[in-house]
C-alpha cells in the first residue's frame, strides 16, 4: 500500500518568508503528482500537476519539484502572504494504480 508522508505537519512563518513543504512516497513508481490547497471546511483546489515526463512545475510564486528516483516532492512558496494560510496536500498516481494516494497535509499559518 502506498503511504505518503508530509513534513512538517504544521508550521507558522512570518509574512514574507519562503515556505518549503516536503512530501515522500513509499513507492517511487509515480507517474503524476499533484499539489492541492485546502481551506477549512472546503474542497481541494489543484495548484500544480507534475506529469510523468516532467520534473517540476511553476505557477506564480509556487514551484513544485519531483524526484522520482527517491519518491520525494517539494512545494516551494516564495514570499509568503497571509492569504497562503491553508493546508497543502500532495497526492500521487502510481503506475498500474488508478487512485490518487494522499498525505495528511502540511498546515501552514502565515503571520502578518
Partner 1 sequence: DTGVSQDPRHKITKRGQNVTFRCDPISEHNRLYWYRQTLGQGPEFLTYFQNEAQLEKSRLLSDRFSAERPKGSFSTLEIQRTEQGDSAMYLCASTIGGQEVAGELFFGEGSRLTVL
Give the footprint of partner 1 on this chain (CB under 8 A). 4, 31-32, 34, 36, 41-46, 49, 52, 89, 91, 93, 95-96, 98-105
CB of 95 to partner 1, least distance (A): 7
Residues making up the chain, counted from first to last: 112
CB of 16 to partner 1, least distance (A): 28
Q: Nearer Cβ to partner 1, position 4 or 86?
A: 4
Rounded distance, CA 55 to CA 67, Å?
A: 7
Rounded distance, CA 101 to CA 26, Å?
A: 11
Q: Nearer Cβ to partner 1, position 32 or 65?
A: 32
CA 90 to chain centroid: 4
Cell of 1: 500500500
Q: Nearer Cβ to partner 1, position 17 or 100?
A: 100
CB of 64 to partner 1, least distance (A): 13
CB of 109 to partner 1, least distance (A): 15
Q: Nearer Cβ to partner 1, position 83 or 96?
A: 96
| φ, ψ (nearest 5 deg) of residue 2 | -70, 130
Q: Give the pairing of strands 62-67 and 56-59.
A: antiparallel
Amino acid at each position: 500500500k502506498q503511504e505518503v508522508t508530509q513534513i512538517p505537519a504544521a508550521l507558522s512563518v512570518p509574512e514574507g518568508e519562503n515556505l518549503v513543504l516536503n512530501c515522500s512516497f513509499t513507492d517511487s513508481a509515480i507517474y503524476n503528482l499533484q499539489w492541492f490547497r485546502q481551506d477549512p471546511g472546503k474542497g481541494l483546489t489543484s495548484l500544480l500537476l507534475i506529469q510523468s515526463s516532467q520534473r517540476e512545475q511553476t505557477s506564480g510564486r509556487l514551484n513544485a519539484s519531483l524526484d522520482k528516483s527517491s519518491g520525494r516532492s517539494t512545494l516551494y512558496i516564495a514570499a509568503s502572504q497571509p492569504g497562503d494560510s491553508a493546508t497543502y496536500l500532495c497526492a500521487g498516481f502510481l503506475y498500474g494504480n488508478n487512485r490518487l494516494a494522499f498525505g495528511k497535509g502540511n498546515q501552514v499559518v502565515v503571520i502578518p
